[in-house]
Structure 1
């Protein structure tokens, strides 16, 4: 059953951790402690947290089987190591390329998520939604 209320869909790279550099590996990236704390707070309040990532989409040319085989175990281990709360992980979010964007009426930037109340976030989404 799909939860209909109190759901957060959260990206990983650039949100829970910085974007990996060419000489870095995913397992050694630091977890953003402010983002983790906010997610823990909301998870404790009953929010369902779904992590959604495009990690591996370019590397494995969108091959879901390869992403689940090679990328998901690294992601799961990293989340467990850092104690990040989540209820689901969805891999295979379309990658917008190096210069593309995700456009969605329910999107807030990581900084907005950290700096605003839930009511303010709803107002940001309402303000920017096309009617």
Structure 2
């Protein structure tokens, strides 16, 4: 099993958004233990992020990769690879800015219109 996990908002709490690339928050509660359980089951863990993506932050690519590695190692969070460009091949994706497509585009459109990540207030509260 290969799992691809987003960094900001899923592992790194990311409570204040992008601030010059700083990684300022602690891990999301339970993330370290969950990833360790995945490793113990023999899963491959890819951590992905656009924070070091060449298209968005070309001048910070290497520094952001190193900052993420340092943060992950400091907090004892296991991983096999950092992924910063494109979509990694995986069996499952864990991301705070994703929807699960269930075969119904009408429902998906409605869900997308009202979407907000778990750590942000809803865009269109109902």
Contact kept in structure 1, 2:51 and 2:64, CA below 8 Å = yes
Distance in 1, Cα, partners of 2:51 & 2:45: 18
The reply on whether 1:35 has 2:31 as its aligned counterpart is: yes
Q: What is the TM-score with the length of structure 2 in the denominator?
A: 0.60
Question: What RMSD in Å do the two structures reach over aligned CA positions?
Answer: 3.2
Distance in 1, Cα, partners of 2:17 & 2:57: 22
Contact kept in structure 1, 2:12 and 2:27, CA below 8 Å = yes
In structure 2, the gaps of 5 or more residues are 105-126
**Of the candidates 10, 15, 31, which is equivalent to residue 5 of structure 2?**
10
Q: Describe the shift of the 1:55–1:47 C-alpha distance in structure 2 as closer, same or farther (beyond 3 A).
A: same
Of Structure 1 and Structure 2, the greater helix share is in: 1
Q: Describe the shift of the 1:108–1:20 C-alpha distance in structure 2 as closer, same or farther (beyond 3 A).
A: closer
Moved >4 Å (runs of 4+): 22-25, 106-110
Structure 1 residue 45 displacement after superposition? 0.9
Structure 1 residue 38 displacement after superposition? 0.8
Q: Which residue of 1 aligns with 2:102?
A: 128
CA deviations 1:14-70 (Å, max 9, x no partner) are 10022252696733310123122111101111000001101144xx75355x34322
**Of the candidates 40, 47, 59, which is equivalent to residue 44 of structure 1?**
40
Q: What pairs with 1:14-93 in structure 2 (closer than 5 Å)?
A: 14-21=9-16, 26-57=22-53, 61-62=55-56, 64=58, 66-93=59-86
Q: What is the TM-score with the length of structure 1 in the denominator?
A: 0.58
Q: Number of residues paired by the alignment?
A: 97
In structure 1, the gaps of 5 or more residues are 1-5, 95-105, 111-124
